[in-house]
Amino acid sequence: MPAQTTDTPKFYQKRFMPMRHARLIPLLLALAVPANGLAETFERQLANGLRVIVKEDHRAPTAAHMVWYRAGSMDETNGSTGVAHVLEHMMFKGTPSAGPGEFNRRVAAAGGRDNAFTSRDYTAYFQQVPKQKLSEMMQLEADRMRHLTLDPREFAQEIKVVMEERRLRTDDQPQSLLFEQLTAVAFQTHPYRVPIIGWMNDLEHLAPADARRWYERWYAPNNAYVVVVGDLDHQVVFELAEEHYGPLEARPLPVRKPQDEPPQLGIRRLTVKAPADLPVVMMAYKAPVIRDVDQDVDPYALEMLAAVLAGHDAARFSRHLVRQQRLAVVASASYDSTARGPGIFYLHGSPSEGRTAAELEAGLRAEIADVQQHGVAADELARAKAQLIAGQIYKRDSIFAQAMEIGQLEAVGIPHALNRRMIDKLQEVTAEQIRVVAAKYFRDEQLTVAQLDPQPLPLASRPASPSTARH
């Protein structure tokens, strides 16, 4: 679904991929759109409940192998936030038959790349390998699905790594802090209020037993599914899956409570002070997500609204707020129509020099008001749909993206086969439906506004300029 364009990562990975060309300046962020490839997928369920989904792509002799568990940070409880992600790290720390580090070593020896990520809704593990290595990858994943060692000494080291990850990606990132605080205010009861990486104090007190409990609760074949995309025959994949995952036994799963968020009764505001130069405004409107692929209308209309507002360089926010009014240096909108929990439609941006956060908030509101009153033009909507269709085809260029798409849909309970229907539903969205959702969901009672109040660095940290510039 559309990439989250807030500065906060949607999920946490085991390893940060360093930017090789740190000085390369991206000039245009391509719009990511929900998409399905046109190739057929095949599915089989093993007797233990594990589902195996295969999409054949024969362009190169490679394969992506992913194991998805339906357990993410939203399944955590107070006092042990972050445990889903910590367990993800511990999954690389060994089983009786493959010791600490052995998993990574064997993937590397196979010429593969591997990583894992934890989101609110799920935890997933993947390897990209030459296709002949799929069997070995399945053997490794099946082994750690049920036989993790969870050595307390390894835990003691790895929890430090996770705390460093939190410092790097949240505590020292003003916009991540802003997003974390915004989320914790917008949701009061639903577990989405908790950051995926966990509160630092919880990490400091997390014990190996917490990780063990989490593993025992959720890591079972009947709470998982395997996605394979690549240059393989689906029957061969099914046979390999049966061989490696088939012997694992199903286990009873805990009952999941809905924990629905009660209605918000008025606007909420918060401020975050952090070392920065640019103010940031982030507005979060409660919004629905897709629960019935066929019957729902509003989530699809909200997706198209996000595309009309901020889907490309000439979309409304960029054209009006950045270019014409010069009110913002950047302004964007983001919305994800698929989630296990409740949805949010975000508007966010930074004001230009000499303009205030309050002025930018008023500008963002004015854009919404314009849609509420006048709807959107036919050519704007057609443009958003053209991008959507192109995005379907571009996605087929990436083995990994195709596997991610299948996995993410299944994670929120939408059968991947309904993807095509979702694309149709998006194409059926009318200008009037967009006007209706703009009026329906963009109300102050549903709104939380967070503002980053930039604090100057201490003098010693400020770069001396321009004398340090070379020329």
Partner 1 sequence: MTPFKLLLLSFLALTMELAHAGPKIQHWQSSSGARVFFVENHTLPILDLQVDFAAGTAYEPAGRAGVASLTRALIDLGVAGIDETQIASRLADVGARLSGGVDMDRASVVLRTLSMADKRGPALDILRAILSTPQFPAAVLDREKARTVAALKEALTRPDTLASRAFWSAMYGSHPYGSYATPESVSSLERADVAAFHAANYTAPRATVAIVGDLERAQAEALADELTAALPSAPAMRGVAAPTVPAASEHRIAHPALQAHLLLGLPALKRGDPDFFPLAVGNYSLGGGGFVSRLMKEVRDQRGLAYSVHSYFHPLAQLGPFQIGLQTKKAQANEALKLTRAVLSNFLEQGPSEVELQAAKENLVGSFPLRLDSNRKILDSVAMIGFYQLPLDYLDLYPENIARVTAAEVKAAFSRHVRPEHLVTVVVAAE
Secondary structure (3-state) at 64: strand
Between 402 and 433, whose beta carbon lies closer to partner 1?
402
Cβ within 8 Å of residue 13, ≥6 positions away: 115, 116, 117
d(CA 343, CA 281): 19
> Which amino acid is it at 207?
A
Bridge-partner residues for 51, per DSSP? 45, 225
d(CA 376, CA 398): 33
d(CA 316, CA 368): 10
Q: How far is the CB of 339 from partner 1 (least distance, A)?
A: 26
Catalytic site residue from 40, 43, 76, 88: 88
Between 265 and 464, whose beta carbon lies closer to partner 1?
464
Q: How far is the CB of 25 from partner 1 (least distance, A)?
A: 5
Cis peptide before 466 (omega within 30 of 0): yes
Q: How far is the CB of 287 from partner 1 (least distance, A)?
A: 24
Residue 115: HSE in the Cβ half-sphere, 13 Å Cα cutoff: 12
d(CA 425, CA 422): 5
Secondary structure (3-state) at 349: strand
User: Contact 322/328 with Cβ under 8 angstroms?
Assistant: yes
Between 70 and 106, whose beta carbon lies closer to partner 1?
106
Q: How far is the CB of 169 from partner 1 (least distance, A)?
A: 8
User: Contact 144/91 with Cβ under 8 angstroms?
Assistant: yes
Between vectors from CA 295 to CA 291 and to CA 301, what angle results, nearest 5°? Answer: 80
Q: In the annotation, is 88 catalytic?
A: yes
Between 79 and 275, whose beta carbon lies closer to partner 1?
275
Q: How far is the CB of 413 from partner 1 (least distance, A)?
A: 29
Between 160 and 256, whose beta carbon lies closer to partner 1?
160
What are the residue numbers of the active site? 88
